[in-house]
Chains A and B, each alone.
Chain A
Amino acid sequence: DTEVTQTPKHLVMGMTNKKSLKCEQHMGHRAMYWYKQKAKKPPELMFVYSYEKLSINESVPSRFSPECPNSSLLNLHLHALQPEDSALYLCASSQSGLQLSPQETQYFGPGTRLLVL
């Protein structure tokens, strides 16, 4: 099973709302990632978790709050977002947890399309 699942598929929220995105994988991968992708642009790395610990935060605003409750789950909590945060949010995972080995493949979920009004 090489599947990463993400819920919800679509999300519309107001700037005062609090919502969460969920990502799940059952491949035994120990690294999990959040990416943000604007239309017709490449994915931009936001966060990396390694062995359930936050390893990389790419200077993401605090209105985005990641959480890794266990090795299979990754959440992204959203609060007080801005319209410019509207994007496709992609979750990915890879096998190694300590660092991404150069030859490793990242497996991506289908994404959550977020619209902030």
Chain B
Amino acid sequence: AQSVAQPEDQVNVAEGNPLTVKCTYSVSGNPYLFWYVQYPNRGLQFLLKYITGDNLVKGSYGFEAEFNKSQTSFHLKKPSALVSDSALYFCAVRPYTGGFKTIFGAGTRLFVKA
């Protein structure tokens, strides 16, 4: 079964420090992985995705994610956190065979303290 795990409900980081939001996945075949961010009372905004190629994917707002096949992980990172990065982050996986379903992780709430 395809699944996504975000092991941390919440991540706290000080402004200016690097941040990591963790995601691990379980899929058959090649994984297609996504990160979305959701600000309070808003819809999901696409940040970045891994399809194939370079393991380091760069996305919006200075975020990047590293695909690690051996560890089946796709952690979201940013070198220097901003208070405005505080939001809910969702990792998602798309089945290799296609279809309309996107499998979302439970979400990780990021708090960046000034």
**Which residues of A are in contact with B by a Cβ distance under 8 Å?**
4, 6, 31, 33, 40-43, 45, 48, 50, 55-56, 88, 90, 92, 99-111, 113
- A-chain residues with CB within 8 Å of residue B97 when the two chains form the complex: 102
- A-chain residues with CB within 8 Å of residue B36 when the two chains form the complex: 108
Contact A42:B43 (CB < 8 A) given known A48-B100, A56-B100, A103-B51: no
- A-chain residues with CB within 8 Å of residue B41 when the two chains form the complex: 88, 111, 113
- B-chain residues with CB within 8 Å of residue A113 when the two chains form the complex: 41
- B-chain residues with CB within 8 Å of residue A92 when the two chains form the complex: 43-44
Contact A43:B104 (CB < 8 A) given known A100-B94, A113-B41: yes
A-B pair number, CB within 8 angstroms:
70
Task: For A50, give the chain B residue with the smallest CB separation.
Answer: B100
In the complex, what distance in Å separates the CA atom of A62 from the CA atom of B46?
A: 31
* Tally of B interface residues using CB under 8 Å: 27
Secondary structure at the B interface, as helix, strand, loop or mixed, is loop
- Cβ of B100 and Cβ of A90 under 8 Å apart? no
In the complex, what distance in Å separates the CA atom of A106 from the CA atom of B93?
A: 12
- Cβ of A41 and Cβ of B100 under 8 Å apart? no
| 8 Å CB contact of B107 from A41, A105, A108 | A41
- B-chain residues with CB within 8 Å of residue A105 when the two chains form the complex: 34, 46, 49
In the complex, what distance in Å separates the CA atom of A33 from the CA atom of B107?
A: 20
In the complex, what distance in Å separates the CA atom of A91 from the CA atom of B51?
A: 24
- Cβ of A106 and Cβ of B102 under 8 Å apart? yes
- Cβ of A102 and Cβ of B95 under 8 Å apart? yes
- B-chain residues with CB within 8 Å of residue A48 when the two chains form the complex: 100
- Cβ of B43 and Cβ of A101 under 8 Å apart? no
